[in-house]
Amino acid sequence: MRFDASGRLLAQERQGDNLAPLSVSDLSMQLKRTVEDRFGHVRLRGEISGWKRAASGHAYLALKDESALIDGVMWKGTAGRLAFAPEDGLDVIVTGKVTTYPGRSKYQIVIESMELAGEGALMQLFERMKAKLAAEGLFDPAKRRPIPMLPDVIGVVTSPTGAVIRDILHRLADRFPSRVILWPVLVQGDGAAAQIANAVRGFGALAPGGPIPRPDVLIVARGGGSIEDLWSFNEEIVVRAVADSPIPVISAVGHETDTTLCDFAADLRAPTPTAAAEMAVPVRAELMAQVSEADARMRRCLARGMERSRERLEAQRRLLPRPDLLLGQARQRADDLADRLRRGLSHRLSIARRELSEAAGALRPALLEAQVTRGRETLARVRLSPALLDRRLTDARRQFDGLWRLAQSLNPDAPLSRGFARVMAGDRLIRTSRDALAAGSVTLKFTDGDVSAVTGAGAEAVSGDPHPAVPPPSARPARKPAPATTRQTDLFD
């Protein structure tokens, strides 16, 4: 333990000293009031560094130049009203008040507004945004779609009070009157970018055939102005909405020398809003003249084609021989054949009449009666002998008995009448004792019925007499005697 010069450990008030010790918080608050009173409203220019937006919506950054740096904070409401998206490296001018942060013994500026420091900063932000979106493929020329030649409905996204909409309507009325649907939006200032993007998406969301017709082409238009005035059309939200639009878009922002990122994302860029109207529709009079010219050319082509076909047909007709030369020989041959046919029919009729006369002379009643008499005499000599019929019947009966005995010998049930039995397991015939033991249950077929039996280990579980009496087979019915042969009488007796 060390002592001071006076050898004391505890602090004591000195005589004549009225300076009371301050706490750290008191000193911090005094510094805070001093700084805020002295620098309550300042404008700073510097380069953004470490831009970060917290989950609460507040933004934190630092402003720096060649030799110094100051921290800054932007509250949620102020950050949401910015007209551009801050990035590291942008040169900006901020307005706010300088204050201290006692928790870290540091001073900072609370930013109330932020602006780009001149057109150079805007162009720097423009080039950065252009490179970013181009890397994503939003400006790929292969994605651009053709503009319809004759759109039924044209959608226009612009201010309803400016000269742009009047110029577009006037030019459309002069060239080709069409139906126009205006979606009114702000074209500059706070909220303009969101309104333009919502308008483009809203037109794309319209259903075809709905109560509000869906446009066939969109015109996003604005009059000329500075790069700051046209900045809403460089916002990322607008560029993405134009690139994603399902409807072809014509960008007509500013004058011919003005360029926005919306121009790169659109399907077609027009130098002025009036030129956009000219690109959207053709000139009605010129179109009618083209149609008339095409109709006249078509008629001339048809007439020329018919004339050439007629000439070719006439040339082919001259090469063909005359019909009388082609048909002369055929007519002569037809006349010759007709004359020969007439003579041939007459000759054939004469021959038929002569043959009929000769045959009629041979048909005399005496010849017919002689032939009938000879037939009766032949029939009288023929007698049917009963012995022949008896011999035929005896031979047939003998053959039938032989076949019957053969069938009885081949009958599988014939051995059953001699005391044999057939062993079956279901539909399968049991031939060996091994198969019977494996089956477990069999059926014994006798001549007078079937008996079920259990084989193998299952036979021991069966109660009662293991050898049931089998009723004696019934006597085989005697075969009916063959019917006596009836002698056939002589048919001529």
Residues 209-231: tens digit of each pLDDT: 889 999 999 999 998 888 778 88
Residue 262 has pLDDT above 90, yes or no: yes
In the three-class reduction of DSSP (H, G, I as helix; E, B as strand; rest coil), residue 285 is classed as: helix
Total number of residues shown for the chain: 493
pLDDT band at 483 (very low <50, low <70, confident <90, very high): very low
CA distance 181 to 203: 10
Of the CA atoms within 13 Å of residue 136, those in its CB half-sphere come to 13
Give the residue-averaged pLDDT of 365-391. Answer: 76
In percent, how much of the chain has pLDDT > 70?
86
Q: Shortest CA distance to 252 belongs to which of 241, 262, 242, 244? A: 262
pLDDT score of 200 more than 90: yes
Residue 140 has pLDDT above 70, yes or no: yes
- Residues 288-320: pLDDT tens digits? 898 999 999 999 999 999 999 999 998 888 888
What residue segments make up the domains of the chain, in order of their start? 24-117, 143-282, 285-318, 413-459
Given a contact cutoff of 8 angstroms between Cβ atoms, the answer to whether 253 and 150 are in contact is no
List of long-range contacts for 414-423, beta carbons under 8 Å, 24+ apart: 416/445, 416/446, 416/447, 416/473, 417/447, 417/473, 417/476, 421/445, 421/446
With 0-12 / 13-18 / 19 or more C-beta atoms within 10 angstroms meaning exposed / middle / buried, residue 236 is: middle
More confident of the two residues 415 and 156: 156
**How far is it, in rounded angstroms, from Cα 135 to Cα 129?**
10
pLDDT on residue 278: 93
**Residue 426 backbone zone (phi > 0: left; psi -120 to 50: alpha; other: beta):** left
Locate the DSSP E strands across 363-413.
none
24-117 maps to which CATH number?
2.40.50.140
Q: Specify the pTM.
A: 0.47
pLDDT tens-place string over residues 176-189: 999 999 999 999 88
| Average of per-residue pLDDT across 380-402 | 80
pLDDT digits (tens, 9 = 90+) for 68-92: 888 899 998 888 888 777 877 788 8
Bridge partners, 452 (sequence order) = 443
Please, which pLDDT band fits residue 360 given cuts at 50, 70 and 90? confident
Q: Pick from 291, 262, 265: which is nearest to 187 by CA? A: 262
Q: Which of 84-93, 339-348, 417-426, 471-480 has the highest mean pLDDT?
A: 339-348
Q: What is the mean pLDDT of residues 196-217?
A: 93
Sequence-ordered list of residues with C-beta below 8 angstroms from that of 395, at least 6 positions apart, any chain: none
Identify the pLDDT of residue 6.
57
Q: Please state which of the four CATH numbers 2.60.40.790, 1.10.150.110, 3.40.190.150, 3.40.50.2300 is assigned to the domain occupying 143-282.
A: 3.40.50.2300
Q: What is the pLDDT of residue 457?
A: 59
* Separation between Cα atoms, residue 90 and residue 84, nearest integer Å: 11
Using the predicted structure, report yes or no on whether residue 254 has a pLDDT greater than 90.
no
Q: Are 222 and 193 in contact (CB under 8 A)?
A: no
Buried b (16+ CB within 10 A) or exposed e, 186-223: ebbeeebbbbbbbbbbebbebeeeeeeebbbbbbbbbb
Confidence at 384, pLDDT banded by 50, 70, 90: low
Judging by DSSP bridges, how do beta strands 441-446 and 153-158 pair with one another?
unpaired
Residue 429 reports pLDDT greater than 50: yes
